[in-house]
Structure 1
Amino acid sequence: MVNLYLVAASIEKSHLAFPLGSLAIYVSLLDDKEIEKETSLVHTHYYIDRDDPEAIARTLAKKNIDIMGLSIYLFNREWMNSFLKAFKTHSPHTTLFAGGPETIAHPDELITLGCSFLILGEGEESTRVALKKWLNKEIIEGDGIYTKESNLATISYPNDLSKLHSVLLHKSVNLKKYSGILWELTRGCPYHCAFCFESKGTRSVRTYQFERIEKELDAIINSKVEHVFVLDPTFNMSKQRTVDLLTFLVQKSPSDIHYTFEIRAELLTTESARLFGELYCSLQIGLQSSNVAVLKGINRLFDPILFKEKIGLLHTFDVVFGLDLIIGLPGDTYESFLESIDYTLSLRPSNIDIFLLSLLPGTELYDRKDQFALDYQTHTPYELIESDSMSKTDIQKALLVKEACDIFYTKGNAVMWFHIMLTPLQLSASRFFILFASFLVEEHISSDDDTYEVQDMFINRIYKEYRLSHLLPIVLSYIEMHQGISYLQETGENPVVALSYEPEALALLDNHSVTWFYDRYKDKGKEKEYYLYASNGQIFFNVLDN
């Protein structure tokens, strides 16, 4: 009996730490009668933040493993490199192979490190082919299989998804072990954004049958999983399928399952936005930049007016959503990045995720890197160093703005009050974050400092600098009220907040300006403390006796 191990590694134990890729290979091999008959198959899963790769390698080397497969991604490449080198030293006779996006990025490097063969692309079928050839001592070759001798392999994409085994339905996978799962409803993407692996894909979208999806949702519900990340790169690509799936989820999902979807805002309809609003979910939308020319250069069409109209549908139906931006796309400048920040904030997302461009080997943009003079890290995470439109200095300035936005807006849950606070200052959002970035440096603020306290410190300072001290009791009370609500929703604990005005009065700021409020309530009352609690989906403020 051959000992076969599959090794996966996640960044940390979290809702996202569901090793779907390696589990898909695992169940595919288990259900192949020839392989199942001749092998003892084990799937192992480690966490980068707590599992030392060299120690794991020494432990596994004692298990007399005949063949081992590694699941290698951008986020775990360094861990896997260390593991691979150490394991090869302690167990030189074990055959090693690997799959995952990084096999496409640097196949020759992985062969040099000790892998006998690599699986390129979606590996359920090609891994079975390779293993059968290995078991039968045949030359390992075939669609999606890369070796030192056969180094012109193409990327494999199974056309018929109905032939693939479901990870979520397989008896060998215990979903109850995970706090969150990754759920795949389709494969492929109709777009070809130059920075993405899909830029060289088939541009075809393959869907799983609805019958399978129904069974998988039953398994999710029965496992008590509370966080589901739908992996479809464009969930709302097909109008009718989107409505059908959302209707199904709204009707069947328990209220405590939270879904995360990636969508294209331009494809939103009133009906799909309404259904998203009825489901406990959040959406992530890849804006990347608000510059039409920059986006055109990476094969993305963008109409800022249409985009804003579609985002308005999400606000109409109270849908939580976040927006993504990328620093350093070809043609992007520091100034155009700041314009993207301002446009993004004008849409009032719940969170903004900003990334420095990663020039991923195997993408169209990587092949065109010389055209844009893109200087980048030649190792993971392949981040941009400079380009012909953004210098090293500009990138560092943009990263400081990113950090400021991360802390103040996203980590600080500022969406409900940011624009109310910003308007009296008569500053753009980007200028505000530039000033906040300087404040972080001057005050030696670290990630360990309380975010809400840091927000209050900076608002106190900037309002005084702009001679708006008379508005501080209003602004700080409004912010304190929302900080308390956010804390209650995040932790379930009941905070006490100090407010200079009644909560009912402060709620008027949802629809009126701070100056309007000041004219109406010029004389602030005595500061009172309120105890916050939730009941039947509503939040209540109980005033505490002095």
Structure 2
Amino acid sequence: MLFDAVFLGEAETSFAAWFKAWLGAMDGQESGSPARSPIGESVVMRSRPCDAASLPSPWLEGILEPKRGGAVAWELTRGCPFHCTYCYEGRGSTELRHFPEARITAELELFVRRGVSEIFVLDPTFNVQRGRALSLLKLFARKGGDIAWNFEIRAELLDPAQAEAFSNLPCSLQIGLQSAFPKVLEKVGRDIDRKKFASKVGLLNATGAAFGFDLIYGLPGDSLSGFRESLDYALALSPNHLDIFPLAVLPGTILRDQASEFTLDFDRKPPYLLRGHSSFPASDMAVAARLAFSVSTFYTRGRAVPWFLAVLKPLRMKPAEFLAEFRTDFDGREYALPWKHGEIEALQCAHISRLYEKRGKSALIPAALDLVRYHGAWS
């Protein structure tokens, strides 16, 4: 027997009850007998969602210790009303259960006293309830000191008041775009209205709030050309950063159950990454991975957001085309990471110069490179 018990879902209450029974049974064993489960066979228990208000705080109880200068992963809400099939949350509770504001305030005051430098809010969608999001953002601005914040949000739920509140915090927002194609997203329990999405993101750009997107390549029904178009759509909205991942077919998710239906070929060992499927074969997955590396290096780590679209305009190139060619400039160098910013900037300038010469724009090279170096010096 490998396990005495397996708990599915939130287990604070059910585990405590089981463990008390286990301790009581252990007390009944003869002294010196081998340690074993006195309850009998292994049990599998599906735990009901906990009442968040009744749970003790691991921070205030001293179980978890915030460190000066360190980062904290902070849970404010449980439950997710969305049903993304590749995500464990899609099979969890859809009921939103909030930790009380008094507890949140006390925990935040503890983090400030202990000198925490950064907080990652674990809520799957921080702004799922507008009023609560605004209330918490005001609390963080008032009592959060110099802490840097990280939130996951839905762009479609943004409004001007939220955008303004986010801009008043030193924070970064992560937005799960995943794909720009409604038919692709429909297969994994999501949707998108491109015009509405762009309009909402425009609120963040207008207030100066920093944000980034997630993109997934290899989604059911997607293709390499579709992924490239999603990349073009994403970069046209000027995110501060872009995080790109291959699809992971995680055990226990709805998507894992649908793997055969979508012809998904994937690794059976962690991290369960997709190898390919009928419309996104393994060879195209490799091309997408190289393109993702180019985006990470040239755009995100290269701090290109202030000048990227301006530099592309004279070339009349789409972002995916431009970045795909950049990857060929430094094959094999990925193993030298991390590079200093000056090294990445040198690669950026070399790539821009080559493409401007190739497209008959040599006269514009000094201006383009000045733009890159100016923003690099300030960032």
TM-score normalised by length of structure 1: 0.64
Name the CA distance, whole Å, in 2 between partners of 1:264 and 1:345: 17
For residues 445-460 of structure 1, the aligned pairs below 5 Å read: 446-449=336-339, 450-460=343-353
Deviation at 1:482, TM superposition (A): 0.6
Alignment pair present for 1:242 and 2:130: no
Name the CA distance, whole Å, in 2 between partners of 1:164 and 1:436: 51
Alignment pair present for 1:270 and 2:160: yes
Instruction: Name the stretch that deviates more: 162-171 or 210-219.
Output: 162-171
Deviations 1:441-465 (A, max 9, x none): 2888842542122112212222222
| Equivalent residue number for residue 96 of structure 2 | 205
Q: Is 1:186–1:207's contact at 8 Å kept on the other side of the alignment?
A: yes
For residues 410-425 of structure 1, the aligned pairs below 5 Å read: 410-425=300-315
Deviations 1:411-433 (A, max 9, x none): 10100110111111110001011
Q: Is 1:273–1:319's contact at 8 Å kept on the other side of the alignment?
A: yes
Deviation at 1:158, TM superposition (A): 3.5
Q: Is 1:286–1:324's contact at 8 Å kept on the other side of the alignment?
A: yes
Alignment pair present for 1:252 and 2:143: yes
Q: Match for 2:322 among 432, 440, 444? A: 432
Deviation at 1:122, TM superposition (A): 1.9
Name the CA distance, whole Å, in 2 between partners of 1:329 and 1:362: 17
Q: Is 2:68–2:117's contact at 8 Å kept on the other side of the alignment?
A: no
Name the CA distance, whole Å, in 1 between partners of 2:11 and 2:38: 14
Q: Match for 1:126 among 4, 14, 17? A: 14
Name the CA distance, whole Å, in 2 between partners of 1:455 and 1:385: 31
| Equivalent residue number for residue 369 of structure 1 | 259
Alpha-carbon distance change, 172 to 423 in structure 1, aligned in 2, over 3 angstroms:
same
Deviation at 1:137, TM superposition (A): 2.6
Deviations 1:398-417 (A, max 9, x none): 11110110100011010011
Q: Is 1:227–1:258's contact at 8 Å kept on the other side of the alignment?
A: yes
Deviation at 1:289, TM superposition (A): 0.3
Q: Which structure exhibits the higher relative contact order, with contacts defined as CA atoms closer than 8 Å and separated by 6 or more residues?
A: 2
Residue identity (%): 37
Name the CA distance, whole Å, in 2 between partners of 1:398 and 1:317: 33
Secondary structure at 2:356 match in 1: helix
| Equivalent residue number for residue 225 of structure 1 | 116
Alpha-carbon distance change, 172 to 479 in structure 1, aligned in 2, over 3 angstroms:
same
Deviations 1:513-542 (A, max 9, x none): xxxxxxxxxxxxxxxxxxxxxxxxxxxxxx
Q: Is 2:9–2:92's contact at 8 Å kept on the other side of the alignment?
A: no
Deviations 1:214-272 (A, max 9, x none): 11111111111010111100000011111111122222221x21010000000001111
Alignment pair present for 1:484 and 2:374: no
Q: Which amino acid aligns with 2:177?
A: L
| Equivalent residue number for residue 18 of structure 1 | none
Name the CA distance, whole Å, in 2 between partners of 1:176 and 1:325: 32
Q: Match for 1:441 among 317, 323, 331? A: 331
Alpha-carbon distance change, 252 to 140 in structure 1, aligned in 2, over 3 angstroms:
farther
Name the CA distance, whole Å, in 2 between partners of 1:366 and 1:126: 27
Q: Match for 2:52 among 146, 155, 161? A: 161
| Equivalent residue number for residue 307 of structure 1 | 197
Deviation at 1:129, TM superposition (A): 2.4
| Equivalent residue number for residue 196 of structure 1 | 87
Name the CA distance, whole Å, in 2 between partners of 1:353 and 1:173: 29
Alignment pair present for 1:182 and 2:73: yes
Q: Which ranges in structure 1 are unaligned for 5 or more consecutive residues? A: 1-110, 142-146, 487-546
| Equivalent residue number for residue 351 of structure 1 | 241
Alpha-carbon distance change, 257 to 179 in structure 1, aligned in 2, over 3 angstroms:
same
| Equivalent residue number for residue 470 of structure 1 | 363
Q: Is 1:125–1:158's contact at 8 Å kept on the other side of the alignment?
A: no
Name the CA distance, whole Å, in 1 between partners of 2:182 and 2:41: 43
Alignment pair present for 1:327 and 2:217: yes
Q: Is 1:320–1:350's contact at 8 Å kept on the other side of the alignment?
A: yes
Alpha-carbon distance change, 175 to 439 in structure 1, aligned in 2, over 3 angstroms:
same
Secondary structure at 1:370 match in 2: coil
Secondary structure at 1:481 match in 2: helix
Q: Which amino acid aligns with 1:118?
A: V
Secondary structure at 2:306 match in 1: coil
Q: Is 2:76–2:99's contact at 8 Å kept on the other side of the alignment?
A: yes
Deviation at 1:169, TM superposition (A): 1.2
Q: Which amino acid aligns with 2:226?
A: S
Name the CA distance, whole Å, in 2 between partners of 1:354 and 1:392: 17
Alpha-carbon distance change, 315 to 448 in structure 1, aligned in 2, over 3 angstroms:
closer
Name the CA distance, whole Å, in 1 between partners of 2:294 and 2:120: 27
Q: Is 2:6–2:43's contact at 8 Å kept on the other side of the alignment?
A: no
Alpha-carbon distance change, 157 to 180 in structure 1, aligned in 2, over 3 angstroms:
farther
| Equivalent residue number for residue 271 of structure 2 | 381
Alpha-carbon distance change, 444 to 169 in structure 1, aligned in 2, over 3 angstroms:
closer
RMSD of aligned C-alpha atoms? 1.9
Name the CA distance, whole Å, in 2 between partners of 1:198 and 1:172: 25
| Equivalent residue number for residue 117 of structure 1 | 5
Deviations 1:472-493 (A, max 9, x none): 111111110111111xxxxxxx
Deviation at 1:468, TM superposition (A): 1.5
Count of residues in correspondence between the two structures: 366
Deviation at 1:469, TM superposition (A): 1.6
Deviation at 1:177, TM superposition (A): 5.5
Q: Is 1:168–1:220's contact at 8 Å kept on the other side of the alignment?
A: no
Alpha-carbon distance change, 301 to 119 in structure 1, aligned in 2, over 3 angstroms:
same
Q: Match for 1:395 among 281, 285, 291? A: 285
